[in-house]
Structure 1
């Protein structure tokens, strides 16, 4: 099993069979459209991971203030399995090497895997956002300050 990580193309978002928990973002259930994917690609950097021709992850850094600050994001497929390590290492390296002075991510506190992954990619917990988002869930703000 080899994992190929390459620049993301918009159609990758439609090919990705995301994990059920990955369908909810700040309390809203939504599927990524081609337009959403193009926005992520054009708004920073975006990568896809493939295994045996299947897209198993899309990830990147969306610049909120170009050249200064961004949001780390990732969507993982069902059955990502052992490829998780290569995907995590890639995300960690891109975050560490980024010239952005601030990179952040929001995770749901009750979804342990989200919090663990944020730490694994080099982000540090910074603040708890109580009753945040459409479902009023507690979230953790993670960050990396250069």
Structure 2
């Protein structure tokens, strides 16, 4: 059974992250309690997905300019398996339902699955960021722009 509930700070600390998510922008690090609290309780929205009680994802929209712009983020667990479709659909629905003018995410060019997932949730590749981050890797800025407002 898959459930999706508002994220609690301890969810982001408890998830067993995929190996590919242990490094962010070239920096290997663990999330602090304060960072987890900011994701769960700060501007924007945050969700925890459980499959049979095990946390398989934490995801959300962290508003960088409240009411206007956000960064889409996701932490996926090892062995996400069959829950992947539910996670992707939830992320896509939340992005499409958002009233924000701009939602963005930065993904690694060398990891096609990151680009593919950004596109599956409704973001479009917009800009190449060469030599970006701690290890100077090429990244892709993906974005969703609400048109007509």
Normalised by the length of structure 2, the TM-score is 0.95
Aligned equivalent of 2:14: 15
Report how far residue 43 of structure 1 moved. 2.4
Question: Runs of at least 4 residues of structure 1 off by over 3 A?
Answer: none
In 1, distance between residues paired with 2:31 and 2:92?
A: 23
In 2, distance between residues paired with 1:95 and 1:33?
A: 26
Aligned equivalent of 1:27: 26
Whether 1:108 and 2:101 are equivalent positions in the alignment is no
Report how far residue 6 of structure 1 moved. 0.5
Per-residue CA deviations over 1:65-97 (Å, capped at 9, x if unaligned) read 000000000010000001000000000000000
Residues 13 and 33 in structure 1, CA contact (< 8 A), matched pair in contact too? no
In 2, distance between residues paired with 1:127 and 1:113?
A: 17
Aligned equivalent of 1:133: 133
CA RMSD of superposed structures (Å)? 0.7
Aligned equivalent of 2:37: 38
Normalised by the length of structure 1, the TM-score is 0.97
Consecutive unaligned residues in structure 1, runs of 5 or more: none
In 2, distance between residues paired with 1:45 and 1:33?
A: 19
| Number of equivalences | 145
SS in 2 for 1:67: coil
SS in 1 for 2:82: helix
